[in-house]
């Protein structure tokens, strides 16, 4: 569904066309969600700030993409997981995992035990962790850092296995360079470099060094990763950001 912005914001341009990823507008949603739409890569906005391509109000319907992050109450639960399940990492804060990558559960660890506080009272502490295939470290489970496959993703994996004998694209070993597994690698490198340029805290070292060490340290980048960008004309670099 295409929506036309009629009220500009810091992230939206008046009169621009946007692809609506999800729409909650049929009157049956929770109060905080009703009358909202989600534009992929930009954010969630009030329906009233948009029209359809003919200038009319957006329809009173729900259109929800199952890949969209769900409300907290519907988020991934540790109790629903089992060995062999495939999860997608939604966080960029792991050194050993790639954001957007698929990982298969090798082992689930659920430890609970009594803990005595300083005043003598006792409470139960629960530690829930996941061990993924090919990942050395055991990671603390977080419903904010992982999601289950959508029905569409599960169907695609099943069809590829049946028709083409292709396994699910699960990451089973840490790559030589983490960034090589990230979609749209070039655009990400430009984004990291630009953030280093405008960082008011930057000092003492070069912009590429700051980008590697301070802007995106968990990607384990090297200054050589930016060399081809530094040699490109600015107009070509900007084109990479506009794709």
Convert the pLDDT of each residue in 86-95 to its tens digit.
999 988 788 7
Contact in structure between 35 and 25 (CB atoms under 8 Å)? yes
Q: Which residue has the tokens 């749209």?
A: 184
Please list the residues that pair with 128 across neighbouring strands: 110
Average pLDDT score over residue span 110-139: 83
Residue ranges of the chain that CATH labels 2.30.30: 73-164
CATH number of 73-164: 2.30.30
Closest to 68 measured CA to CA, from 92, 33, 96, 95 = 33
Specify the pLDDT at position 72: 44
pLDDT of residue 23: 93
Confidence of residue 70 (pLDDT cuts 50, 70, 90): very low
Digit-coded pLDDT (tens) for 23-44 = 999 998 888 889 999 998 788 9
pLDDT at 77 over 70: yes
Q: What distance in Å separates the CA atoms of residue 57 and residue 3, rounded to the nearest whole number?
A: 9
Q: Lowest mean pLDDT: which of 21-25, 62-66, 230-234?
A: 62-66
Helical axes 234-242 vs 185-198, angle rounded to 10°: 120
The predicted model scores a pTM of: 0.54
Taking the C-alpha atoms of 44, 68, 166 and 87 in order, what is their torsion angle to the nearest 10 degrees? Answer: 120
């Amino acid at each position: 569904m295409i929506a036309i912005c009629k009220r500009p914001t810091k992230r939206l341009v008046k009169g621009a066309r946007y692809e609506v990823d999800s729409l909650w507008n049929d009157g049956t949603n929770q109060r905080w969600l009703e009358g909202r739409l989600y534009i992929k890569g930009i954010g969630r906005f009030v329906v009233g700030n948009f029209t359809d391509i003919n200038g009319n109000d957006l329809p009173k319907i729900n259109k929800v993409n199952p890949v969209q992050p769900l409300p907290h109450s519907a988020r991934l639960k540790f109790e629903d997981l089992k060995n062999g399940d495939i999860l997608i990492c939604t966080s960029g804060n792991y050194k050993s995992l790639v954001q957007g990558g698929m990982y298969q559960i090798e082992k689930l660890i659920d430890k609970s035990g009594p803990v005595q506080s300083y005043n003598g009272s006792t409470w139960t502490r629960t530690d829930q962790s996941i061990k993924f295939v090919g990942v050395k470290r055991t990671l603390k489970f977080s419903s904010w850092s992982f999601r289950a496959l959508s029905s569409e993703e599960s169907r695609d994996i099943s069809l590829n296995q049946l028709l083409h004998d292709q396994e699910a694209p699960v990451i089973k070993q840490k790559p030589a360079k983490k960034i090589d597994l990230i979609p749209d690698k070039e655009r990400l490198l430009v984004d990291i470099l630009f953030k280093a340029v405008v960082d008011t805290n930057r000092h003492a070292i070069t912009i590429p060094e700051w980008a590697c060490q301070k802007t995106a340290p968990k990607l384990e980048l090297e200054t050589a990763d930016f060399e081809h960008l530094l040699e490109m004309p600015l107009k070509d670099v900007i084109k990479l950001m506009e794709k």
